[in-house]
Chain A
Amino acid sequence: MYKNFFRYLISAIFLLGFSVNSNADFKVGFVYVGPTGDHGWTFQHHEGRNAVEAAGIKTTFVESVPEGADAERVIRQLAQSGHDLIFTTSFGYMDPTNKVAKDFPNVKFEHATGYKREHSNVSTYSARFYEGRTLLGHIAGKMTKTNTIGYIASFPIPEVIRGINAMTLAAQKVNPNIKTKIVWVFTWYDPGKEAEAAQALIDQGADVIMQHTDSTAPVQTAEKAGVWSFGQASDMQRFAPKSILTSIIDDWAPYYVERAIAARDGTWNQQDTWHGLKEGMVAMGPYNSAMGADLVKEVEQLQKDLASGKVHSFTGPIYDQKGNILVAEGKVADDGMLAGMSVYVKGVEGDIPK
């Protein structure tokens, strides 16, 4: 209901032509792609917003904003209604964010998971989720009996492909016979469809299910079918206590608080942030004891090594599906290559949708 309330409020202000003085109360706006109650992606961003609020800064948020034309309208309304800093928290908001930023040079924009910073008032930030995927791949490779890992993918963007690759590379390292089966659902959030995709993968022989979508339906389907699964974005353990081996948790709160305070105090600069396990933007949920003490120890060590930089998720030699070398032996992939990743590594089945 708040969503509509704010929409009305914002439109009312807009229609009446109030010019809000930007020196008045400092305000931060958030645009979410899903509902705050998704217990996944948006839920974690909302936790970040709560932390900003707790730091004494006023915030507003608009939830379930579709990526596309609607997004631009919402971002524009937030900018028009006197917000000084606006976090747009989904990849698909990239172009709308830059478009609005051009018209509001005094408003600061922070876009999550994108790479376009066309104006000096746009920053981008993301988390190195792929480090978490490496841990999942290691666990999955050890836990699978059918050597088949099922992966529910949302949209063919670099972030999703990077996750598939990181997971597959790590799984191959501990289990050379591993096969990754991928199902694209073309949605971030549709519990029914995500459950159906999980079921299809299980029917096709996958005994470890992984998701790059936002609802808890896949882990619940896995629990019912008695196969392993991993939580996405948030600790989903209580939805599937037996099935979940661990969760990748996004922790945006420290970053949001830091950036909001910087913007308020006038020390905000354009930057491109990409934090991982080291900074705590990516965290892991509790490890399921069903993994066995040895594997838990192994994974905890790997987690430490990834955080310290001793191990990199994309260490050469890495080949693409055709066998061309992507990363040479002894080298690691640089951030530019990671950010634009658009091919599968060797061992992943199928083609990337174009």
Chain B
Amino acid sequence: MSLDISFIGILIGSIMASSVPLILAASGELITERSGVLNLGVEGMMIIGAISGFALMVITDNLFIAIVGSMLSGVIISLIFGFLTQSLLTNHVATGLALTIFGIGLSAMLGKNFVGIPGKEFPILFSSLKESIPFFGPILFGHSIVLYFAFALPFLTNYFLKKTKLGLVVRAVGDSPVSASNQGINVILVRYCCILYGGAMCGLAGAYLSLIYTPQWIENMTAGRGWIALALVVFATWSPIKVLIGALIFGGITILQLHMQAIGFRIPVQFLSALPYLMTIIVLVVISRDSRKIKLNTPTSLGRIFYKEK
């Protein structure tokens, strides 16, 4: 292995690229969960975003419309979840699971005519700087706009939750919807907004896969990334920055273990394959062991049905 500094730069760049869908989906789900709603439909919303984005790209030949459309499709499908859980008061877990199954089936049906169409090249930013600066070039430059957005998102989410009034409202709704409601907050409306936002981010995460990362549509192409994003939110104890760290560790070790295999490290391959899951959990558990902070961040009413008596 050429362990020179510029190679490490390239490696870090590709690790960042592989973490993007996890960061986007987990950040979206984090807001949803902080408002007290447990949406297990992440995988379903991602796959719908992936097919919508790809289909719109093929039909309109416009990547901007494709990206926006994928987010809208995430909003629409999460609206179904919102309507069922918030207006019809169905169980969050069951509805979320149904949403995932529905999303996978629907995307396969919608995607029938889009299988086998090669994707379009997605523009990357500052590609000249990527080549000219060793080490930092491939890390900082030459990525798609979605990647820069994804890496800003956890910090924005953190700021939103901690420093803004709206963030406080979301947290209040997630911790004690009854008190929030007594304070005159429209709990259902806040939760609807958080669900739709989560849907938009999951849609974008799916579109990142089908438009940028592996530009094509294939059935079931999210391949379980939605479930990993869900787990990340929990293991990161609902902290946006820890979600970012967890996603980077997961993506990083996934790619590192492939490199280790290619180099020919004499470590059992099964162990290497399990390593991303193992390390992500260990690291997140270790950095989140402060129980006071966990209590502070955990939405107390997560998954509980709230209705306003009239």
Chain B residues within an 8 Å CB radius of A220:
118-119, 214-216
Chain B residues within an 8 Å CB radius of A192:
18, 21, 209, 213-214, 221, 223, 225
Contact A238/B118 with A3-B105, A183-B258, A201-B262 known, Cβ cut-off 8 Å: yes
Say if the beta carbon of A203 comes within 8 Å of chain B.
yes
Chain B positions 200 through 223: 1 when the CB is less than 8 Å from some CB of chain A, otherwise 0: 000000000100011110111101
Q: Which residue of A lies closest to B225 (CB)?
A: A192
Interface residue SS majority, chain B: helix
Say if the beta carbon of A37 comes within 8 Å of chain B.
yes
Chain B residues within an 8 Å CB radius of A181:
262, 264
Say if the beta carbon of A35 comes within 8 Å of chain B.
yes
Of B116, B261, B268, most A-chain CB atoms within 10 Å: B261
Q: Is B262 touching A200 in the complex (CB atoms < 8 A)?
A: yes
Q: Which residue of A lies closest to B102 (CB)?
A: A4
Query: Once the chains are docked, how many angstroms separate the CA of A187 from the CA of B270?
Result: 12
Q: Is B221 touching A191 in the complex (CB atoms < 8 A)?
A: yes
Query: Once the chains are docked, how many angstroms separate the CA of A143 from the CA of B34?
Result: 55
Query: Once the chains are docked, how many angstroms separate the CA of A197 from the CA of B259?
Result: 8
Chain B residues within an 8 Å CB radius of A4:
101, 105
Say if the beta carbon of B111 comes within 8 Å of chain A.
yes
Chain B residues within an 8 Å CB radius of A255:
none
Q: Is B220 touching A204 in the complex (CB atoms < 8 A)?
A: no
Contact A37/B262 with A4-B105, A192-B223, A195-B213 known, Cβ cut-off 8 Å: no
Say if the beta carbon of A190 comes within 8 Å of chain B.
yes
Partner pick for B259 among A34, A191, A200, CB 8 A cutoff: A200
Chain A residues within an 8 Å CB radius of B270:
186, 353
Of B1, B101, B219, most A-chain CB atoms within 10 Å: B219
Q: Is A183 touching B262 in the complex (CB atoms < 8 A)?
A: yes
Contact A191/B218 with A203-B7, A351-B266, A353-B268 known, Cβ cut-off 8 Å: yes
Q: Is B223 touching A191 in the complex (CB atoms < 8 A)?
A: yes
Of B10, B14, B106, B259, most A-chain CB atoms within 10 Å: B259
Distance from B15 Cβ to chain A, minimum over Cβ atoms (Å) = 10
Q: Which residue of A lies closest to B113 (CB)?
A: A37
Chain B residues within an 8 Å CB radius of A217:
214, 216, 218
Q: Is A215 touching B273 in the complex (CB atoms < 8 A)?
A: no
Partner pick for A191 among B101, B214, B269, CB 8 A cutoff: B214
Say if the beta carbon of A91 comes within 8 Å of chain B.
no
Q: Is B266 touching A184 in the complex (CB atoms < 8 A)?
A: no
Distance from B257 Cβ to chain A, minimum over Cβ atoms (Å) = 9
Distance from A223 Cβ to chain B, minimum over Cβ atoms (Å) = 9
Contact A193/B223 with A1-B106, A37-B111, A238-B118 known, Cβ cut-off 8 Å: yes
A-B contact count (CB 8 A): 121
Query: Once the chains are docked, how many angstroms separate the CA of A195 from the CA of B116?
Result: 16
Query: Once the chains are docked, how many angstroms separate the CA of A189 from the CA of B209?
Result: 15
Query: Once the chains are docked, how many angstroms separate the CA of A195 from the CA of B189?
Result: 41
Query: Once the chains are docked, how many angstroms separate the CA of A220 from the CA of B118?
Result: 9
Chain B residues within an 8 Å CB radius of A39:
115-116, 218
Say if the beta carbon of B88 comes within 8 Å of chain A.
no
Chain A residues within an 8 Å CB radius of B108:
1, 3, 35, 37
Tally of contact residues, B, Cβ under 8 A: 43
Distance from A66 Cβ to chain B, minimum over Cβ atoms (Å) = 12
Query: Once the chains are docked, how many angstroms separate the CA of A238 from the CA of B1?
Result: 33
Q: Is B223 touching A37 in the complex (CB atoms < 8 A)?
A: no
Query: Once the chains are docked, how many angstroms separate the CA of A217 from the CA of B221?
Result: 10
Chain A residues within an 8 Å CB radius of B293:
none
Of A4, A35, A220, A351, most B-chain CB atoms within 10 Å: A35
Chain A residues within an 8 Å CB radius of B162:
none
Say if the beta carbon of B263 comes within 8 Å of chain A.
yes
Distance from A31 Cβ to chain B, minimum over Cβ atoms (Å) = 16
Chain B residues within an 8 Å CB radius of A3:
105, 108
Distance from A349 Cβ to chain B, minimum over Cβ atoms (Å) = 5
Say if the beta carbon of B294 comes within 8 Å of chain A.
no
Of B116, B119, B218, B273, most A-chain CB atoms within 10 Å: B218
Query: Once the chains are docked, how many angstroms separate the CA of A80 from the CA of B106?
Result: 28
Partner pick for B218 among A37, A187, A197, A199, CB 8 A cutoff: A37
Query: Once the chains are docked, how many angstroms separate the CA of A28 from the CA of B192?
Result: 47
Query: Once the chains are docked, how many angstroms separate the CA of A351 from the CA of B111?
Result: 40
Say if the beta carbon of A22 comes within 8 Å of chain B.
no
Query: Once the chains are docked, how many angstroms separate the CA of A34 from the CA of B218?
Result: 11
Q: Which residue of B lies closest to A234 (CB)?
A: B116
Q: Is A204 touching B262 in the complex (CB atoms < 8 A)?
A: yes
Say if the beta carbon of A317 comes within 8 Å of chain B.
no
Partner pick for B223 among A150, A186, A190, CB 8 A cutoff: A190
Say if the beta carbon of A350 comes within 8 Å of chain B.
yes
Say if the beta carbon of B285 comes within 8 Å of chain A.
no
Chain A residues within an 8 Å CB radius of B221:
191-192, 215
> What are 17 A-B pairs at a CB distance below 8 A?
A1-B106, A1-B108, A35-B220, A39-B116, A64-B219, A190-B224, A191-B216, A192-B214, A192-B223, A200-B255, A203-B7, A216-B218, A217-B214, A220-B118, A239-B116, A239-B118, A349-B264
Nearest 5 CB-CB pairings of A with B: A35-B219, A200-B258, A353-B269, A37-B115, A204-B262
Additional 9 contacts, C-beta under 8 A, given A193-B223, A200-B258, A203-B262: A39-B116, A181-B262, A181-B264, A183-B258, A189-B220, A195-B214, A206-B262, A220-B118, A221-B214
